[in-house]
Chains A and B, each alone.
Chain A
Amino acid sequence: MAELAADTILRVEGLKKHFPVRRGLLQRVVGSVKAVDDVSFSVQQGRTLGLVGESGCGKTTTGRMILRALDPTAGQVWFRQSDGQVVDMAALRGAEIKQARRDMQMIFQDPYSSLNPRMPVMDLIAEPLRARGWTRPDCESRVAELMDLVGLDARMIRRYPHAFSGGQRQRIGIARALALKPSLIVADEPVSALDVSVQAQILNLLQALQQDLGLTLVFIAHDLSVVRYLCDQVAVMYQGRIVEQGESEALFTAPRHPYTATLLQAAPAPDPHVPWMQDIDETETEAGDTTAPVELVDGTTAAGGCAFVPRCAHATDLCRQQGPILMPGSTRESQVQYGAAHLAACHHQDELQLRGI
């Protein structure tokens, strides 16, 4: 039943998460928010997938469902465990989840709130080991080894989080995630809370660890320059759906979805000579949120068509009537030029001339 290509470690299939919206005194369910709506992708062993998009696009929800920190509404998360067995994270129960999670770990955005301030580094990093029944001496030597691996001074093992800077705390978070030798790491905005000069340290550390340990990384971020630096493949999300997906280089240099092009142009380059948003009409306001709209039970707001229409400069009647499917270009030229692995959910992907970077 579990079909997973030999080189693939993770395949997400039709993943959905709908949150109920309750109103009124009786808290009746009046609708739902499709935070993640039919998301599919796969990641090969040892590679890095970037999940990008603006706040509310569903990237974090997707990441949490992969680890089953959230229960999906529908869909499958096929994952190859280190023993070779392929499991569907979405269908596992209790002890099985715990078993599978041994091989997948998460790194969080905020190194200040994700570490218990009352635990010394030793206990923080050893916690997952303890949960698996490691003895104290074993833990201690493993923690020292991990601290060394992530560039922390192992003599600091008895110190508490407050004694560490933001970057060092993030290293503790990474050491903790690596404690059980996972094969997959989901990193949710791991550098966005850090100082500019420290971000590069953590990015380089993640890259080195990935290469040395053969880790597979799902990297959730909003900063495209960081994603470009670290990721082999990218999936761009908008209102709970993937709107474009492909090899990082191809996606950045030749975007196929207008939203991707918008994101690329909006990011100001740290170079005053690179033109930036010269033709933008700033009075054009924030039409259409990146957050998925509430869909009422009676279906009144269930609009057909592409979700990006309110912000799209290329929208036509077709876009307003019919939702596009995530697929490769259909003309011969675009297939030759872009290949079958570059997908976009846009009716006009073959005609548009979008500017990359």
Chain B
Amino acid sequence: MRDPVTNERHGAEPLLEVLDLRVRIERDTGLVHPLNGVSFRIQEGQSVGIVGESGCGKTMASNALLRILPRRAEITHGSMQFRTQAGDRIDLAQLDPMSRRMRQIRGGEISMIFQEPMTAFSPVHTVHDQIAEMIRLHDPGADKEEQHRRVVELLDQVGIPDPEQRAFDYSFQLSGGMRQRAMIAMALASGPRLLIADEPTTALDVTVQARVLKLIERMQRELNLALMLITHDLGVVAHMVSYVYVMYLGRVVEEGPVEAIFDNPKHPYTAALLRSIPNLASKSRRLEPIEGNVPSADRLPTGCPFHTRCTEKVGDICQQRMPARVELSVGHAVSCFRYTEESLDDG
């Protein structure tokens, strides 16, 4: 079930709070800015969607969180407060990526499932060995027998038939859907509190996708996991999360409860995106494409990142300054001059 609690109203401290995160990559050709001040938060047990097109920084955000950024990338600004199992708050941005603490969190309290399960598994170890390894790393006390019992239990939990046998398969012996299930089992092996799923079903067929998503939903509910679902697929996000962040060029341009985002999109980008996708359920409507292309992250436009493609610009201010985040209703916020005071003064 979707939890109706918006991010704002939740009384408890969030599980994760990212504030004004900026990442810079040094390339031979110059500096690239994939994240330009991203803020989001996830409550315990909450499902949050991060939506955007390629280059919007959604994957970069999760990589920054796990401190697995590419070699020449660095966090230049911002914090990522994570509340650990023990109850203390730590800023992931301040940790050494190779430190013991970070390794405990990465793949431990925060674990991740990827788009392409083939790359997550080693082809020379059995599924069993790899999941057992995860259990060993995060629970050194478990003996071989206990590890085996937990591997089989996990595989069974994610719906792999005949888990005693399949555990000893290699990842390439499993079908795409099975491999994705095995990867979910591996991600759950360490008993995480936050699961990051980066385009978890993009490589799968639609009928397999449906079952894998339902599995993620059930696991999230049963284990009270927080879910950070990264996707470009608006259909998937509509049904999987309760709260959505829409990203464009390294910034969150709109955020809100899923119904608000789909029923009442406020940012011109969100609204245009929704008008540009075909909906199986409505034939007659003509698609309205967003003209132009997503600008490259090494040549960021000045001002509002969307102004180069926006059809609802309020004036010159759009290309001069970055609009501030404005909260329109509880939990529904947008960064656009159409809703700020400045533009009213301006025009």
Chain A positions near chain B (C-beta within 8 angstroms): 54-55, 165-168, 195-201, 203-204, 222, 224-226, 228-229, 249, 252, 262-274, 276-277, 280, 282-286, 289-290, 357
Q: What 6 new A-B contacts, CB under 8 Å, besides A201-B291, A282-B215, A283-B215?
A: A196-B233, A200-B278, A262-B207, A268-B210, A272-B258, A276-B239
Given A198-B289, A289-B175, A270-B262 contact (CB < 8 Å): yes
Contact check: which of A196, A263, A277 meets B53 at CB < 8 Å? Answer: A196
Contact B177 A285 (CB under 8 A): yes
Whether, in the assembled complex, B235 has its beta carbon less than 8 Å from a beta carbon of chain A, the answer is: yes
Minimum distance in angstroms from B257 CB to a CB of chain A: 9
Q: Are the CB atoms of B210 and A225 closer together than 8 Å?
A: no
Partner of A270, one of B238, B259, B288, B293: B238
Q: A204-B289, A283-B159 are in contact. Are A268 and B281 (CB under 8 A)?
A: no
- Report the bound CA distance from A253 to B161 in whole Å: 34
In contact, A225 and B236 (Cβ under 8 angstroms): no
Q: Is the CB of A273 within 8 A of B259?
A: yes
B236 proximity list for chain A (CB < 8 A): 268
A266: chain B residues within 8 A (beta carbon) = 206-207, 209-210
Within 8 A of A (CB), among B138-186: 159-161, 175, 177-178, 181
**Contact yes or no, A165 B293, CB < 8 A:** yes
Chain B residue contacts of A274, Cβ below 8 A = 238, 281
Q: In the complex the two chains form, what is the Cα distance from A284 to B178 in whole Å? A: 11
A276→B288 CA distance, assembly (Å): 25
Residue B41 CB within 8 A of the other chain: no
Contacts of A357 in B (CB 8 A): 280-281
* Contact A224–B280 (Cβ < 8 Å): yes
Pair A267/B206 contact, Cβ less than 8 Å = yes
Instruction: Flag whether B294 is at the interface (Cβ < 8 A).
Output: yes
Task: Tell me the nearest residue of chain A to B287, going by C-beta.
Answer: A200
Give Cα A290 to B207, complex, Å. Answer: 10
The A-B contact count (CB < 8 A) is 149
A290 CB contact (under 8 Å) in B54, B205, B239: B205
Q: Are A200 and B288 in contact (CB under 8 A)?
A: yes
Chain A residue contacts of B279, Cβ below 8 A: 225, 269-271
Cα(A27)–Cα(B169), bound, Å: 25
Whole-angstrom distance between the Cβ of B158 and the nearest chain A Cβ: 9
- Among B214, B258, B293, which residue has its beta carbon within 8 angstroms of that of A277? B214
Q: Give A277 to B293 CA distance when docked, in angstroms.
A: 34
Q: Of all chain B residues, which has the CB nearest A253? A: B283
Residues of chain A within 8 A (CB-CB) of B211 are: 280, 282, 284-286
12 contacts between A and B (CB under 8 A): A166-B293, A200-B287, A200-B288, A224-B206, A226-B278, A229-B278, A272-B238, A274-B238, A284-B159, A286-B177, A286-B178, A357-B281
With a cutoff of 8 Å between Cβ atoms, the chain A residues found around residue B280 in the complex are 224-225, 228, 252, 264, 267, 269, 357
- When the two chains form their complex, are residues A197 and B290 in contact, meaning their CB atoms are under 8 A apart? yes
Minimum distance in angstroms from B170 CB to a CB of chain A: 18
Top 6 closest pairs, chain A to chain B, by CB:
A282-B214, A200-B289, A268-B235, A54-B205, A201-B289, A270-B234
